[in-house]
Structure 1
Amino acid sequence: MSDLLVRLREGLPEDAVLTDPDVVGAYSHDMASFCEAGVPAAVVMPRTVEQVQHVMRTATELRVPVVPQGARTGLSGAANASEGCVVLSLVRMDRILEINPVDRVAVVEPGVVNAALSRAVNEHGLYYPPDPSSWEECTIGGNIGTASGGLCCVKYGVTAEYVLGLDVVLADGRLFSTGRRTAKGVAGYDLTRLFVGSEGSLGIVVKATLALKPEPPKQLALAAEFPSAAAACDAVCRIMESGHVPSLLELMDRTTLRAVNALTHMGLPESTEALLLAAFDTPDPGADLAAVGELCAAAGASEVVPAEDHAESELLLQARRKALVALEAVTGTTMIDDVCVPRSRLADLLAGTAAIAEKHDLTIGVCAHAGDGNTHPTVCFDPNDEDESRRARESFDEIMGLGLELGGTITGEHGVGVLKKEWLARELGPVGVELQRGIKQVFDPLGLLNPGKLF
């Protein structure tokens, strides 16, 4: 241990190596429940690529595992420390290095906060679409590690579609670049996409070149109330089948609405069984909302309320962004599922989740990126109640199993981490796991990078 600290400090500033037990303990885990975490030997906070290289060379020489971290807002345990590891926190590498309106790219360090990047590019009339609910806290490096999505995925896609190139420090300290900054390019294997969603298990991202879009018009939203989740899902299918391209299409069930009201006092309708939020950032959003409102009414909506202006629209979206935090406040702890299914099976997923909640006598609220079938069933439970904790874990697993039965995936945007690695093996199958482990072996032959995650 002392040798490790001495070696780390040889190439790092004094304030970049943290060893105080209380401080180190705070960096041992992300926001996921039911995920084991070890005690790190140290937390290092580099500011330069060279300092990251020094950490990795030291770790390789001494055979010490390294766990990369961003803001630790993850929900799968992917950033959890392993026993005796070095936690490599990248939050101090937070510079926006370039914004180029002609090439429509931004070049950033991994510690840049998502919202900070969004606001910076807006000043140039540009737009960075991926917007996770934690966008005011989460970092671009973390978004890349977990292939994050967000509220606008239905129209603009997820993080993977905006990462053009990466600078990566490998396990042995070598630096290499992958990808490009051009609009097109097919030279060799797509190693850039390989790193997106790899959860820090293949290398340390130290710089990213990101695609940008022209800033769209301000979006307008509507809220539609439904007597059942099935009716709301029917509306989603009608909207997508009709060829509409909303900038946002989100669903909250009655449990979620009540939780958001309790937390924020926004006065959302609690009598409805499901609330659907739809938004458009088109040149004539009012016409698009009117058409979607008619489809919602045809699907059985009891009320359709268009926002009067951008400010009212943002208030509706803020309610959706608060959903997971509000559900956590119900009992103090949650397990947040991340099952994504084909849109046509969305109603089956919600009905099955309701049945699982009843079976286990638990509160399970559901909010969803309905436009792309990505649901977040959120199991609320008392961690001090052993039986309730057991039932929470069983219900969580049953929801993932249901998602696979419906032709879906165990994670749409939160990643695998520790929480879902047994389920990853079920989804991929033995051949898939073997091939993925082979890729890991090529990039990290000693198994030092984020061990115990994914598989």
Structure 2
Amino acid sequence: MSRHLVDRLLAGLPAEAVLTDPDITGSYANDMASFCPAGTPAAVVLPRTVEEVQHVMRTATALRVPVVPQGARTGLSGGANASEGCVVLSLTKMDRIIEINPVDRIAVVEPGVVNAALSRAVNEHGLHYPPDPSSWETCTIGGNIGTASGGLCCVKYGVTAEYVLGLDVVLADGRLMTTGRRTAKGVAGYDLTRLFVGSEGSLGIVVRAVLALRPQPPRQQVLAAEFASGAAACDAVCRIMAGGHVPSLLELMDRTTVRAVNDLTRMGLPETTEALLLAAFDTADPAADLASVGALCEAAGATQVVAADDFAESELLLQARRSSLVALEAVKGTTMIDDVCVPRSRLGEMIEGVERIAEKHRLTIGVVAHAGDGNTHPTVCFDAADPDECRRARDSFDEIMGLGLELGGTITGEHGVGVLKKEWLAREIGPVGVEMQRAVKAAFDPLGILNPGKLF
């Protein structure tokens, strides 16, 4: 079958677009998640055109071969992991920015465009593409759409789903479907565009996207507030949001994370703090906004509040936050990154609960959070060569997800379900929810060949 599959693929793809060397295809087997099984791909294909993607899906349908779509493989849930004997469909070569339209405030892009590349391109037109995951320098727009990713600016600007206006999608049988619109408004029929956003490549292959843009805001200025406890920092978050403030960023780093960032970057962040809260504003008068927020932080018990002197210092603080996950990985060599989102009002309970879980399992668990959204990333640090520590890491990860549900939250705010959280998705949405989601999957992919084994 493998040779026949490759021959069929080569009938519609250039030779350099079909990879079969096991040493090479093996490198496409996983994303960045721990504890997620992966199979061995039969082939990896790197199409450059919509027609080539259609050929791959027609071939896969004819031969009943699973297809696993991939972007940059920066995902954290195993959603891009290969299935045994599958065709890995890597979309990284489809990386053209087709159009930037300042009047309509849209960009039309292929799925392999890197998030940061798009941001810089639209900036040249005085425009802004807000979604900015921590991996924005490497992650792709297609991957962002597949996982409905967020980023540091979500508290003010929202997540990827709010910027996807329309899609071109190759279906499982190779047909091309267009969803959505280029206009600012539109409610014609079911919102199939939103259905594909966050579907993790299980319903179709996104080959083109129409994205909404915004005017480029002023450069943001950042404030750092130190707290003697995570609970006090979360109290400050509640005061800020209840006060009607709209920061462009509101991020939390606990003591473990701050020390890890210092060890990795030598940035000199304050290690005496139990929690460091970063707030930013990109308004016309950020100093006044930061002063108001600083007063609220002091009222919540901040031990020190310091506003960045200039934009360069602000960028340094943001870089510290963006370095958090890499820094925590360096603590023990391996991490499991949770993605639990809770109501803002219960953020303090979430932080305290994670502390108890870390103590119970004798593990280092650093917490970074998009605090303005209640989206926490408890990061379990462990030694992958120690079986007992691996077991404790997995148990703590599950307990954190359970805690999130108890607090009225969700198991994933932006990383997706993939393989890692399949069992937990079923718990969150219930048997009727699973049944209906499977029915949607069957309507788009009756043979079950698109990213099988993910979500449910």
| Deviations 1:366-388 (CA, angstroms, capped at 9, x unpaired) | 00000000000000000110000
Q: State the AA in 2 paired with 1:13.
A: P
What is aligned with 2:395? Answer: 394
Secondary structure of the corresponding residue to residue 231 of structure 1: helix
What is aligned with 2:446? Answer: 445
What is aligned with 1:136? Answer: 137
What is aligned with 1:202? Answer: 203
Shift of 1:297: 0.3
Q: State the AA in 2 paired with 1:346.
A: L
Q: 1:303-382 to 2 correspondence within 5 Å?
A: 303-382=304-383
Q: State the AA in 2 paired with 1:191.
A: L
| Deviations 1:20-55 (CA, angstroms, capped at 9, x unpaired) | 111100000000000000000000000000000000
What is aligned with 1:214? Answer: 215
Instruction: Tell whether 2:156 aligns with 1:149.
Output: no
What is aligned with 2:416? Answer: 415
Shift of 1:407: 0.2
**Aligned equivalents of 1:203, 1:310: Cα separation in 2:** 42
**Aligned equivalents of 2:270, 2:450: Cα separation in 1:** 47
Secondary structure of the corresponding residue to residue 52 of structure 2: helix
**Aligned equivalents of 2:257, 2:288: Cα separation in 1:** 29
**Aligned equivalents of 1:348, 1:40: Cα separation in 2:** 43
| Deviations 1:83-120 (CA, angstroms, capped at 9, x unpaired) | 00000000000000000000000000000000000000
Secondary structure of the corresponding residue to residue 368 of structure 2: strand
Shift of 1:215: 0.1
Q: State the AA in 1 paired with 2:316.
A: L
**Aligned equivalents of 2:390, 2:183: Cα separation in 1:** 50
What is aligned with 2:48? Answer: 47
Secondary structure of the corresponding residue to residue 167 of structure 1: strand
**Aligned equivalents of 2:385, 2:449: Cα separation in 1:** 34
Unpaired stretches in structure 2, ≥5 consecutive residues: none
Q: 1:179-190 to 2 correspondence within 5 Å?
A: 179-190=180-191
| Deviations 1:240-290 (CA, angstroms, capped at 9, x unpaired) | 000000000000000000000010000001110000000000000000000
What is aligned with 1:233? Answer: 234
Shift of 1:150: 0.1
Shift of 1:186: 0.4
**Aligned equivalents of 2:448, 2:437: Cα separation in 1:** 13
**Aligned equivalents of 1:399, 1:371: Cα separation in 2:** 19
The alignment's TM-score, normalised by the length of structure 1, stands at: 1.00
What is aligned with 1:122? Answer: 123
| Percent of residue pairs bearing the same amino acid type | 83
Q: State the AA in 2 paired with 1:322.
A: S
What is aligned with 2:36? Answer: 35
**Aligned equivalents of 1:268, 1:85: Cα separation in 2:** 46
**Aligned equivalents of 1:210, 1:219: Cα separation in 2:** 23
**Aligned equivalents of 2:392, 2:335: Cα separation in 1:** 12
Unpaired stretches in structure 1, ≥5 consecutive residues: none
Which stretches of structure 1, 4 residues or more, deviate above 3 A after TM superposition? none
Q: 1:12-27 to 2 correspondence within 5 Å?
A: 12-27=13-28
What is aligned with 2:426? Answer: 425
Q: State the AA in 2 paired with 1:425.
A: A
| Deviations 1:428-454 (CA, angstroms, capped at 9, x unpaired) | 000000000000000000000000000
